[in-house]
Amino acid sequence: MGKTTSSPPVSGTTARSGAHPTLRARKPGYAVMQECLAIQAAAPSRTRQQRFWGRDPLVPEARSWFKGALGERYVARQLEALGPDFTVLHAVPVGRGATDIDHVVIGPTGVFSINTKNHSGHDVWAGGRTLMVNGQRTPHAHRALVEGERATTLLSAAAGQQVSVQPVLAVVARRLRFGRTTPAVATLPPEGLGPWLRGLPRVFSDETVRFLSMVAEERRTWHVEAVVLHDTLRHVQRFERLERERVVAADRRRLLRKARALAVLAVPAGALLGYWWAQASLALAG
């Protein structure tokens, strides 16, 4: 991790020029939400009958993107607890296409690129350059390392000085275990991010943190396109509506399951009641 404690260069103060929104306006999971919604838009809408029976509005092809967005939003809530000494940016676009860094954190303990992996319900094992999910190897560690190197290059160029960006993996899992070899990439559950980031040794002065935060929040630092006009809250609102629709559908399915169970119980109960009534009628007649 770089130890940049000197005063920032004067040329860097132009990083905030222009009236366009900075990356502080980006919501967590923004890029993943866009992909999820694009897949959803191409799928046929549910019929009235499907809505009645509570069919899940999320199509299978979009489920991994939806789960990824939920993971990034959960990690973002954990990062909110870092406090004012840290700047947290979400869904930072990188390069020329749609690639992004899930979260970039700048604070007195350094600069970090955080890659979120939502493997809820699964067992994860990490050691060295290997990270396995339910016993299957993944490229997560390698990709996080490459992401950190790329972030280091881009941020250093924009800041006019060497700034090391440390990669981190935030893993949502049923169980996270570690091997004897320390992971090549810092790997933590989301709940452990805040204490870990705050507990590292201080490497930046307050002035340097402010300068690097100013540089990092500019889209041109990371992406060839300095301004993208469709960066609005519209996608976030559509995603949240999809979340609500899934909750309503799940509630309807639960209600219908209960209704079917009661109907099954009602048949023998009705037959028994009829038998008792017949016996009582015979007794009264006798």
Residue 2, in any domain of the structure: no
Residue-wise pLDDT for 203-260, tens only, equals: 999 999 999 999 999 999 998 876 665 556 788 889 889 999 999 999 988 888 888 7
Q: What is the pTM of this model?
A: 0.78
Residue 274, in any domain of the structure: no
The Cα–Cα gap between 245 and 134 comes to: 31
Q: Which residues contact 87 (CB under 8 A, 6 or more apart)?
A: 105, 106, 107, 209, 213, 216, 217
Residue 259, in any domain of the structure: no
79 has a pLDDT exceeding 50: yes
Residue 115, in any domain of the structure: yes
Residue-wise pLDDT for 156-165, tens only, equals: 999 999 999 9
The Cα–Cα gap between 119 and 131 comes to: 12
Question: How many domains does the chain fold into?
Answer: 1
Domain that holds residue 222: 10-254
Residue 281, in any domain of the structure: no
Residue 174, in any domain of the structure: yes
Residue 277, in any domain of the structure: no
Residue 33, in any domain of the structure: yes
Q: How confident is the model at residue 4 (pLDDT cuts 50, 70, 90)?
A: very low
